Homo-oligomer: A and B are copies of this chain.
């Protein structure tokens, strides 16, 4: 293993990477080396069957492992077999096929080497305005992604900063060289493009209905697919947070996206169009505009207008990766549009890879609500960087691994994927493994309780988004308000309020509409309530706020004790301990600031007499 990066969950595979070749050749080389390393005389047979596509079937026949699958299926089957053997699972009879055809990682990497909302060091492949990387590390990344069945990597930030526009012009040879390193692992690259690119190329418009603009994009696509024949497509953030888009020309998003889709269609390319569009210059005095309503209001009327190779990529919640949001109603309502669900591995609002926050339980809740038929893809904002641990916190690698596994098969239990990751990553005594499993599975609850237990969002430090600042975004222009005062807190998003609940299918609408049925964890997302509101458990709202924050902090303290006792190897042990010290500080700060913030409004002391600072 190289010294400048950790092997993550594949650290027990042979250090030597397979030679560059087809996916099937990669599968063969990986299995050969793996079995050679085990020295038990095991053998295998790869049986190509293109009908299975990415799917695979593993059997053991007369002592020989048979893997059947299409080109990628053989690759995934090989890694599945290796992982099953490493974790002590039975692989014989294992059949597997993907729920979602595209399992995409969105990197918010800028070509200057910085990573927007990146907490794991600098970009793994950009620096100083160009591609700059350790090819072996990129190939190792390919191996990691393949083992998790992730098959698309978008290399650059959705906010396209110079010189990233050039990734589809004169930097195409560099993109092609990079793509070639990942291709043996079944990973195709994607590029974020700027909707106004025609302007920087000298055209006087970027109007999607202009023939010149279509011609420009056709030529751009020609060049791009000539250089990278298996390019997955373009990712576009348009008319969003000051990015250019079709609205500037009076055109709809469907018109904008379809023009691009037409330009890439002949190559089998897709246009992934982000639906993260809202008024980011809102006046806080305006109580009628409600940001969570925005995407549905914009896109729902366009359902059916989008071309077949456009994928509308929708964040899991209507806001922006807050600790707790209801599922975006847009995901539940676009019946004639290909959708991608967008998740975030980078823990922008959930601890920034300092605080432990294992995501599988959250994703499970989301996938359970997803309409199986209309979601074509799953995307996740990456948590990767050039640091030793790739993902900042060594445990945050779980989120990368589990994302791929759940995007492949959303029915995978969070317990199972987390346990697999632990077994692959660490050779721990059984009680330690079980402790770590429980710690990880509960980590989201802990974080949620000390930060934002009842669905209140945005009480974070502006810009950095780490740590509490209850009014930090309250008088700002981002549409992010809690409107706490001496009588109560929250925004009424029911039919009597902003009407957001009406965007949901009837069952969910009815559930959320009534505070008596609305889940506690979303109560203040949907309702404005007085501090003396009586919760279903009999406690008042304010007492519940206090209780949750105290309990969350205590749970973090217990977590620290558990962690201390684990027989983790170095440097993981030291790294996790250092981050845990910061997490405890953060937890205490959240507990005290939020409790004080509300105490100052309501003047109600804690029933149990615990310290709330004045």
Q: Chain A interface (Cβ within 8 Å of chain B)?
A: 284-285, 287, 462-463, 468-472, 474-475, 483-487, 589, 592-593, 596-597, 599-603, 613-614
Contacts and interface: CB of A to CB of B under 8 A. Distances in A.
A602 B487 CA distance: 10
B487 A603 contact: yes
A458 to B, nearest CB: 13
Given A471-B474, A475-B597, A486-B486, 12 more contacts: A462-B462, A463-B463, A469-B471, A469-B472, A469-B475, A470-B471, A471-B472, A471-B597, A475-B596, A483-B614, A485-B601, A486-B602
Contacts of A601: 485-486, 600-601
A361 B468 CA distance: 39
Contacts of A613: 284-285
Contacts of A472: 469, 471-472
Contact of A603 (B284, B285, B463, B486): B486
Nearest to A589: B475
Contacts of A600: 484-486, 601
Contacts of A284: 593, 613
Nearest to A594: B475
A471 to B, nearest CB: 4
A613 B483 CA distance: 11
Nearest to A484: B600
**A469, A597, A599, A614 — most chain B CB neighbours (10 Å):** A469
Contacts of A287: 614
A452 to B, nearest CB: 16
A600 B598 CA distance: 12
Nearest to A485: B600
> Which of A487, A589, A600 has the most chain B CB atoms closer than 10 A to its own CB?
A600
A297 to B, nearest CB: 24
Contacts of A485: 599-601, 603, 614
Contacts of A475: 468-470, 589, 593, 596-597
A361 to B, nearest CB: 30
A610 B110 CA distance: 48
Nearest to A588: B285
A588 to B, nearest CB: 10
A27 B601 CA distance: 65
Nearest to A599: B485
Nearest to A462: B462
Contacts of A602: 486
A272 B483 CA distance: 48
Contacts of A469: 471-472, 475
Contacts of A285: 592, 613
The list of the 9 closest CB pairs from A to B, nearest first, reads A485-B600, A471-B471, A285-B613, A475-B593, A486-B486, A486-B603, A486-B601, A285-B592, A486-B600
A588 B601 CA distance: 25
A596 B472 CA distance: 15
Contacts of A470: 471, 475
A472 B461 CA distance: 9
A40 B472 CA distance: 64
A601 B600 CA distance: 8
